[in-house]
């Protein structure tokens, strides 16, 4: 999907929910999914007949382990996903590629009905200003400069996705907030922090959280690089 594509989300209608125990998606990220459960196969069937969207949600607490096929509680923040590619297999399963569109919050969940196997909810958007506004890019310019330098010659150049992110960073008109969204899913594994970033609507606040995590990661990478110095005697390392 191109950078110029605009995707609309209708918050006036119930949105299908696809809950997992982890943060699956943030805006801008692209994720492949294999859909095999009957309720979510029905969800994809119906989504493809409409706008091709559903909300990636997160279970709250551990009750889902006992009530997975029921309606265990969900955390409020979700990411609206757009199906950008799909393949329906002969047995009804799907391989889909989805892209994160925007943050949203569950306002109310729809009551179950006999014809719908999956859960649905009314949503409201999180964040007032668009993620690629000039004001946000100005606020985040220092963060972008640091990330760009670290991807080029600093510790972040060691990331598996460094080349891709560096190419995006070098595009003058690629939004800084979008660049940081992509970096987030590449460097943050902690699910609590991922959800914190999913629930935060202010790009500046997200950049501050991400900046702290990047600083720690850069220190860890630098320490690992020192331990791998070729001029150290065999069996010696930095502690």
d(CA 3, CA 15): 25
Tokens of 30: 């692209």
d(CA 33, CA 43): 13
Residue among 44, 52, 28, 84 at smallest CA distance from 198: 28
The answer to whether the CB of 157 falls within 8 A of the CB of 151 is yes
Give the model's pLDDT for residue 136: 62
Tens of pLDDT along the chain (239 residues) come to 444 567 899 999 999 999 999 999 999 999 999 999 999 999 999 999 999 999 999 999 999 999 988 899 999 999 999 999 999 999 999 999 999 999 999 999 999 999 999 999 999 999 855 545 566 666 688 888 888 888 888 888 888 888 888 898 888 888 888 888 988 888 888 999 999 999 999 888 898 899 888 888 888 888 887 776 555 455 544 33
b/e per residue 51-82 (b: at least 16 CB within 10 A): bbbbbbbbbeeeebeeeeeeebebbbbbbbbb
Give the CATH class of 15-125.
mainly beta
The answer to whether the CB of 105 falls within 8 A of the CB of 126 is yes
Q: Which ranges of 118-202 does DSSP label H, i.e. alpha helix?
A: 134-139, 141-153, 162-169, 176-187, 191-199
The domain locations on the chain are 15-125, 134-227
The answer to whether the CB of 131 falls within 8 A of the CB of 80 is no
Four-CA torsion 135, 214, 193, 209, nearest 10 degrees = -40
Give the model's pLDDT for residue 135: 62
Residue among 99, 109, 123, 120 at smallest CA distance from 10: 123
Which letter does DSSP use for residue 59 in this model? B
Residue by residue, what is the 3-state secondary structure of 7-49? CCCCCCCCEEEEEECCCCCCCCCEEEEEECCHHHHHHHHHHHC
Give the model's pLDDT for residue 137: 61
Tokens of 14: 């119930």
d(CA 231, CA 239): 16
d(CA 224, CA 222): 5
The answer to whether the CB of 64 falls within 8 A of the CB of 22 is no
The answer to whether the CB of 117 falls within 8 A of the CB of 181 is no
Give the model's pLDDT for residue 33: 97
């Amino acid at each position: 999907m191109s950078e110029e594509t605009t995707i609309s989300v209708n918050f006036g209608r119930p949105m299908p929910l696809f809950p997992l125990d982890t943060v699956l998606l943030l805006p801008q990220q692209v994720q492949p999914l294999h859909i095999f459960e009957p309720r979510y196969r029905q969800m994809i069937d119906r989504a493809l007949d409409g706008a091709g969207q559903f909300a990636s949600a997160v279970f709250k607490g551990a009750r889902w382990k006992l009530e997975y096929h029921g309606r265990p509680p969900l955390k409020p923040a979700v990411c609206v996903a757009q199906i950008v590619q799909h393949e329906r297999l002969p047995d009804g399963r799907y391989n889909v590629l989805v892209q994160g569109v925007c943050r949203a919050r569950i306002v109310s969940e729809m009551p179950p009905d006999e014809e719908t196997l999956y859960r649905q909810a009314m949503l409201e958007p999180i964040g007032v200003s668009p993620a690629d506004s000039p004001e946000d890019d100005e606020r985040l310019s220092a963060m972008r400069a640091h990330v760009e330098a670290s991807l080029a010659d600093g510790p972040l150049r060691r990331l598996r996705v460094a080349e891709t992110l560096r190419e995006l960073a070098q595009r003058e008109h690629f939004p800084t907030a979008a660049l940081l969204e992509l970096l987030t899913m590449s460097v943050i594994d902690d699910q609590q922090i991922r959800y914190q970033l999913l629930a935060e609507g202010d790009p500046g606040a997200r950049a501050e959280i991400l900046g702290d995590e990047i600083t720690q990661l850069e220190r860890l990478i630098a320490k690992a690089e020192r331990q791998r110095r070729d001029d150290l005697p065999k069996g010696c390392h930095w502690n």
